[in-house]
Chain A
Amino acid sequence: MRQTLVCRAVLSRLHSLGLDSKLLAIGVGGGLLSGLLGVGGGIVMVPLLVLWAGYAQRDAHALSLGAIIPISMAGIATYGVAGEVRYGTAIGLAAGAIVGARIGAGWLARIDERLLKVVFGTFLIGVAVLLGARG
């Protein structure tokens, strides 16, 4: 009884932060799959945000990108990156990726939503092939 009350209080607090039940489920589910399979959360979260929670395609991609910030922080904290990271490589990749991310975000702000669906759908098919080859 007391636990139910605590659960309800926590849920209503989360809801008041804008996190409704579907967002909570997608957050936990997306995080679980990414931790379990070592794939990025975005591949899981974006389709669920669009097809299940009813977000506009563009908003779903923006929500996913922001969510990756705390998720990757948790990954860095739990994975024990120290000792395994090749810093030179990380710096080289990140230097390019930071520039690229600003270009990509500019495209996301303008792109036609239908074209975005086709591009992302094609990306997912490619990922499926890669994952299948690895599995």
Chain B
Amino acid sequence: MSGPTLYVVLVAFGVVVGVASGLLGVGGGTLIVPFLTLAVGFSQHSAEATSLLVILPTAIAGSLALRRRGVGDLGLALRFGVVGAVGSVLGALLALALPADTLRLVFAVFVGVVGLRLARDGIRGERSPASGHRRAR
């Protein structure tokens, strides 16, 4: 792919990533990085760096749209995210010292199990708290 065709594909794929991000509250790196490495032929490093730069404006646009609709609490989310940012810097440092591939496999199993459980809860229609409320602890 090159030139205008590539651009049309990029924007179209961007729309898909954005919808997933706004609907599911994820950054979209999980979709962008494999797309850039496998379909466009970027190196892993380039793909991850480019993906980070796409995630930030996407999360801002989605969060502002949610705030206009009165969903969630953006102030709390930003404070929560600052805590997460501290964790992610620690994680990036730890990654240099740990066997990341093994961890990734363990994590893949965890994500798969959680996905199955959530899908099952949704299909069975298990009660979950209404928006704006947390389950009593």
**A residues lining the B interface (CB < 8 Å):** 14, 17-19, 23-24, 26-43, 45-47, 50-51, 53-76, 78-81, 84-87, 89-90, 92-109, 111, 113-132, 134-135
Contact = CB atoms under 8 A, between A and B. Distances in A.
Contacts of A76: 52-53, 56
A61 B103 contact: no
Contact of A79 (B49, B116, B131): B49
Nearest to A81: B49
A27 B81 contact: yes
Interface of B: 6-7, 10-30, 32-34, 36, 40, 42, 45-46, 48-50, 52-63, 65-66, 69-95, 98, 100-105, 107-109, 111-112, 114-123, 125, 128-137
A31 B72 contact: no
Contacts, number: 439
Given A69-B56, A114-B122, A100 B14 contact: yes
Contacts of A131: 104-105, 107-108, 111
A114 B126 CA distance: 8
